[in-house]
Structure 1
């Protein structure tokens, strides 16, 4: 009976950590079949997601520090979206006033939702890590991965070399997470793969509801290429590196005892 209870508690915390991602995909789904009067769809999505973030903060579901991390990821994601749309990797065909160079501002929230999930699950499962490679190797690898998303359009794509480096750099790194009174461990690289796969599933849902379109989806929707799993795998790594370093910095701050 105890394993069932543990699984239920684990599932509950995972579900609560997914509130913002669920809000995004729920909004995309509903807005694709329900016409919102007097406002463009992309503009309405942005307003709704800003409202969700405000409510999550006011109700205590997210802390101020977590909101700051989400804003950081929104900027990082939006910069990547601007470049990718400019290069023709995908497009946002619908009109909207809150579009910048063809990119709706709500799109950054899709990257921020990954950060929201990581921050929430880190706090709820009281996560920690062992064997962390340190700030220099992790941040340099994260920067190289992010840069490769831009440079592979005009120089060779190094994603598979970078993927190999991920397994080398994080070979000894383990996630420690706690469910009630039990402590569990998981190789960090395995967590990267699992999260990347589930984001790929979510991406299929998002493109089905016209959140954006890849070039081969303009005529009719089809499954997103399996190669995108590797892209999300690498993006998750960037997210985990940034969140882990921010958590480490926060933990190392002297506590105010006054």
Structure 2
């Protein structure tokens, strides 16, 4: 009976940590099937998500420091979106007043939702880490990963070299989390893989409801390539580094 109770508590905290991601996907789904007059869909999504973010802060679901992390990741994601759309990696075909260089401003929230989840689950499960490699190693690696998202269009893609480096740098790092009175631990690299996989699933849902379109989805929806899991795996590392530095320091 105890394992079931533990699982239920764990599931509850995971679900509560997903409030903002769920709000995003709920908004994407509803706005794709319900047309609201006098406002473009992308603009409506942005206004809705801003409202959700304000609600989470003023209701105490998110702290001031967590909002700062989310804003930083929103900017990081938006810059990446601007570049990727400019390079033709994907597109946002619908009209909207809140688009910058072809990118709707709500898109940054999709990246920020990863940071929101990380902050929430860290606090709710009273997480800690052992074997953290330190500020210099983690920031240099995170910076190299982020830079590779831009440079692989012009020079060889170092994704797999960076992935190998992740396992080397974080091989001693374990996540410690607590469910009620019981303490558990898990290798941090396994966390990267699990979260990256679920983001890939979420990406398939998002593209199905026209959040954005890849080139092969212009005529009809196609499953997002499994290779994208590696991209999300690396992106999760950046969010974990940012959140961990906030929580550890």
Normalised by the size of structure 2, how large is the TM-score? Answer: 0.99
Deviation at residue 108 of structure 1 after TM alignment:
0.1
- Quote the residue 2:94 is aligned against: 94
Deviation at residue 103 of structure 1 after TM alignment:
0.1
- Quote the residue 1:238 is aligned against: 238
Deviation at residue 217 of structure 1 after TM alignment:
0.2
Distance 2:16 2:198 in 1: 16
- Quote the residue 1:75 is aligned against: 75
Deviations 1:122-156 (A, max 9, x none): 00000000000111111100000000000000000
- Quote the residue 1:219 is aligned against: 219
Distance 1:6 1:18 in 2: 19
Matched positions, count = 249
Distance 1:69 1:175 in 2: 20
- Quote the residue 1:196 is aligned against: 196
Deviation at residue 247 of structure 1 after TM alignment:
1.2
Moved segments of 4+, more than 6 Å: none
Q: For 1:1-258, list aligned pairs within 5 A.
A: 1-249=1-249
Distance 1:116 1:65 in 2: 11
Distance 1:129 1:116 in 2: 19
Aligned-residue Cα RMSD (Å) equals 0.4
Specify the SS of the correspondent of 1:213: coil
Distance 1:136 1:63 in 2: 26
Question: Unpaired runs of 5+ in structure 1?
Answer: 250-258
Specify the SS of the correspondent of 1:154: coil
Deviation at residue 244 of structure 1 after TM alignment:
0.3
Deviations 1:93-133 (A, max 9, x none): 00000000000000000000000000000000000000001
Deviation at residue 49 of structure 1 after TM alignment:
0.1
Normalised by the size of structure 1, how large is the TM-score? Answer: 0.96
Distance 2:245 2:57 in 1: 22
Specify the SS of the correspondent of 1:153: coil
Distance 1:127 1:107 in 2: 28
Distance 2:179 2:148 in 1: 37
Distance 2:123 2:242 in 1: 15
Distance 1:126 1:10 in 2: 12
Distance 2:20 2:37 in 1: 24
Specify the SS of the correspondent of 2:39: coil
Question: Unpaired runs of 5+ in structure 2?
Answer: none
Distance 1:72 1:136 in 2: 19
Structure 1 stretch displaced more, 62-71 or 153-162: 62-71
- Quote the residue 1:255 is aligned against: none
